[in-house]
Every structure is written in structure tokens, then in C-alpha cells.
Structure 1
Amino acid sequence: MPPLHILIFSATAGYRHACIPAAITALQQLSHTSPAPFTTHATEDPTIFTPLTLAPFAVIVLLHVSGDFLTSPTQLAALQTHVRNGGGVVAIHGASTGLPSSAWYARLTGGAFANHPVPQLGRVRIVDAAHPIVAASLGRGGGMVRTKEGDKEGESQWEWVWTDEWYNFRADPDVARGDLHVLLSVDEGSYEGGEHGRDHPIAWCQEFEGGRSFYTALGHFDEAYDDEGFMAQILGGILWTARVTG
């Protein structure tokens, strides 16, 4: 199987996450351990967004992009062409603050950032433990434990104690986009500042306009990119959006 080609794009035109270098390094390291080989190309040059230059890439990782990180309508059109031609997009944490004027981009990521409380410990619920984005991460990394057996034979329930910025969105992603498949939610009773109630999605995936997208609101701190469970989910997102799995 020839290697997949993955574009890591981390340009910012707003808040810039200090963890970007650590995240790029971790993504590059994933390419050496992935069951499906892939290469990475990291850049912050938006001129790469043309149909021709994006064509080789199976997946675009939008790594903490913010503000108007694309600088022309033709660049946005190239991202749309990538998706509509079956390409994948993995959007990480701050990516939900990107392109605030584009309703299409908000649909691609599945949620537009509104605000967040101070970073703090919270309890993540594993909503779909069987999905390939999540399955390989179970029991790996810090703070992820099985809480009890599920209702059906072979099922189990998991939760994950994690410190992050717990994003609130302009609208509840699961309500605003009924075709999102929620993978993780956060228990608002475990921290202060949540605005979505009992079910607060923080990671999801979707089939979108011919392509696939995966978004996780986790990943504010450098330490996330050293966590085996978190990086297993990022790898799962890359492989799922590239249609290697699921």
C-alpha cells in the first residue's frame, strides 16, 4: 500500500496556541508508528491551498488554526474542492475558532467556538467506544479507565479524567448538526463553566459533502501530545477521514 500524504496546516490569524510545535512533532512521529504508512508536510503558507497542490493529500490536519487563516476566496474554494473530492479533514482544538465568517467552514468542523472557562480538570465520557477513531485509544494514556460493563454483552463504559480548555460552542453541535456522530462528551458536573447541559459533545466525526471530517476540542496543552490515548485518537481520526478504517 503506498503511503498516504498528510498536510499539517497551523497558520493563525488570531490566538496562537503555544503547543503547536509539540503537536507538529507528535504528528510527525505518528507517521512512524501508524499501521497505514503516511508522510507529513507541515506548513503555514496559505498559498498551498490550490486544487493542484492539495490533490496529493489524503487528509488535511487543521492544527489550531485561528481567525482568517486562509487569505483569499480561492483558497477556501480549494479546501472545499479537497473535501468534495473525497478528502479528509482532521480539526484540532483551536480549529473551531477559524474562518469565523464562513458558515461552510463551521459546518465542516461541526461547531464554532464561543468561549471557554479557565482550564481545569474534567471528566470525559466515551460515547462510542466501538468507533475506530476511539477504539484503539481505550485504556491507553493517563486517566482513562473502564467504569463498568455495558448493557450488552461485550460492551463496556469508559471515562477519562483530563485537563483542558472546555470549549463552549455557539450552538450545541449535536443539536445544530444532527448528522454529527458524537464520540466524546464532557460531564459538566465535573468542572465549572459549561454551557451545553448534560450532554456536552467535545469530539465528533461526520460524512460531509463527499469527504469526512473529525474534530476534537481537546489538545490545548503540550502534555496532550505526549499522551498515548489522545494521540491514538488523532491517529484514528487521520485513518478514518482517509477511509483506511470504518
Structure 2
Amino acid sequence: MKKSLISSILILMLLMSASVSAQQFRALVFSKTAGFRHQSIPNAVVALKKMGTKQVFSVHASEDPRVLAEENLMKYDVLILVSSTGTIFDETTRASLQKFVRSGKGVVGVHAATDSEYDWPWYNEMIGAYFLAHPAQQTLRLEVVDQDHPSTWHLPKNWMWTDELYEFRDINPNIKVLINADETTYEVARGNGANHPMAWYHEFDGGRVFYTALGHVDSAWEDDDFLKHLYGGIWYAATGEPFD
């Protein structure tokens, strides 16, 4: 009886080990807010956990700043900032994030991740821009300008979308734009003109970064096109695998 129990435990441990090793990569979802808090954050966390199960990567979600400590953060392949706002990094965790990126890891920003760390120029360059303004939620034409990225392979050239439409300042000129907002198809707040990026990626300081301004509305987190868009960006940031 005792031998049978030990055997069962060993088999369970082996299965658990195989399950962990089968994961493509490890993602840390961080959604702490020190400013405006988006209602869609809980839906986002649930959707990302389901995505991890479906796409075979591990997801740990937290709003505890201690998860950003260097010894913990380095366990992950990608940090996903879901509508984080305000100043969420202190001096120690800023250094931790910089080391994480410089070691070749990935960062994904979703929606309000650009509404954060306004006094940290490195973060601005890394995430790609700072939030400027947004009009009321509207439907618009999104122009997919680069269909050769994992986050846009599945999207049509003209993508009709309804969301809270971010406008930006201090845009890093080195970002590679994936999707533009067509400002002629909706009523802007301040506007970015003909070149109004809504999703982008770039290699930065040794790591990889993907950002999408979409994801304010709850319904986005149940939309297959959006979730495929986001997964493609996560996969790029986490793995760095070639895609062209």
C-alpha cells in the first residue's frame, strides 16, 4: 500500500514536471494602478489566464510590487502591463525592469500602460509613447499598416473597431507601427494627425516591446480578433522568434 502511494506521488510529480516543461514561456501579468483604474482589468486577467491555457504558456497575475523584485522578475520571459497607471515602479523596481529588458526579455503594454511613469524617460522610450488624451468611445477604421507581424497576420487591412481611442505625445520615433487610427473616421480629442499609431513593436535596450492601445472596453477581452492580436504581440515579446 505504501509502495503504491509512493509510486502514485512520483508519477504525479513527473506529470507536473512535464507540464511545466511543456510551457512555451512564462508570463507575469501586472495590473497595479496608481491613477485611473480601468473596469476591464479583471476581465483582462481572466482572458490572459485562459489564453495561457489555450496557447500553452504559464501566466502569473499580481498587483503586488514585490513580484517586480529582480530575483522574481527574472524568472519570467515577458512582463505584461495591463492598463497600469501612474507611478508603479520605485527606484528598486525600475532598476529591476531595466535589467530584465537588458537581459533580452520582453515587455507588453496594453492600453493604459502608456499612462504611467511620466517622470521616467527610459520608460517612455521603452513603452513607445505617453498617453495624451482620448475622446468618447467610438467606432473607427483602424488601418493595419504591417500585416507581417504575429499580432496582425490575421487582421484585415481595414479593421472596424470600437474602443476608447488613445492619442499620444512623446512618441519614440524608433517604434515600428503596426496599426494606425484613421482620424477621418471618428471625432478626435486633440488628434495625432495622419500618423496616429495604435499598436507597435520595437527592439529596445536589448529586449523586445509590443504595445497595443486597444483593450479599454470589456467586450475587447471576449473578441477573438483582439485576443489573437494580443497573443501575437505577447509571443513576439516573449520568444523573439523570427517571423518574416
1:160 equivalent to 2:178? Answer: no
Q: For the Cα contact (< 8 Å) 2:139–2:160, is it kept in 1?
A: yes
1:84 equivalent to 2:139? Answer: no
Q: For the Cα contact (< 8 Å) 1:133–1:236, is it kept in 2?
A: yes
Q: For the Cα contact (< 8 Å) 2:144–2:159, is it kept in 1?
A: yes
Q: For the Cα contact (< 8 Å) 1:134–1:183, is it kept in 2?
A: yes
> SS at 2:88's partner residue?
coil
Mapping 1:204-215, distance limit 5 Å = 204-215=200-211
1:104 equivalent to 2:104? Answer: no
Structure-1 separation of matches of 2:173 and 2:132: 19
Q: Deviations over 1:192-232 (max 9, x none)?
A: 11511112111000000000000111110110010101100
The equivalent of 2:45 in structure 1 is: 24
Runs (4+) of structure 1 moved beyond 4 Å?
A: none
Q: For the Cα contact (< 8 Å) 1:31–1:39, is it kept in 2?
A: yes
> SS at 1:218's partner residue?
coil
Q: Which consecutive unaligned segments of at least 5 residues does structure 2 have?
A: 1-20
Structure-2 separation of matches of 1:245 and 1:164: 30
> SS at 1:132's partner residue?
coil
Residue 178 of structure 1 deviates from its aligned partner by 2.7
Residue 132 of structure 1 deviates from its aligned partner by 1.7
The equivalent of 1:228 in structure 2 is: 224
Amino acid at match of 2:220: A
Of 174, 187, 194 in structure 2, the residue corresponding to residue 179 of structure 1 is 174
> SS at 1:134's partner residue?
coil
Q: For the Cα contact (< 8 Å) 1:92–1:216, is it kept in 2?
A: yes
Q: Which consecutive unaligned segments of at least 5 residues does structure 1 have?
A: 139-145, 147-157
Structure-2 separation of matches of 1:108 and 1:9: 16
The equivalent of 2:60 in structure 1 is: 41
TM-score normalised by length of structure 2: 0.87
- What is the Cα-based RMSD across aligned positions, in Å? 1.2
TM-score normalised by length of structure 1: 0.86
Structure-2 separation of matches of 1:117 and 1:245: 36
**Which structure has the larger Rg over C-alpha atoms?**
2
Of structures 1 and 2, the one with the larger relative CO (CA 8 A, separation 6+) is 1
Structure-2 separation of matches of 1:95 and 1:78: 17
The equivalent of 2:69 in structure 1 is: 50
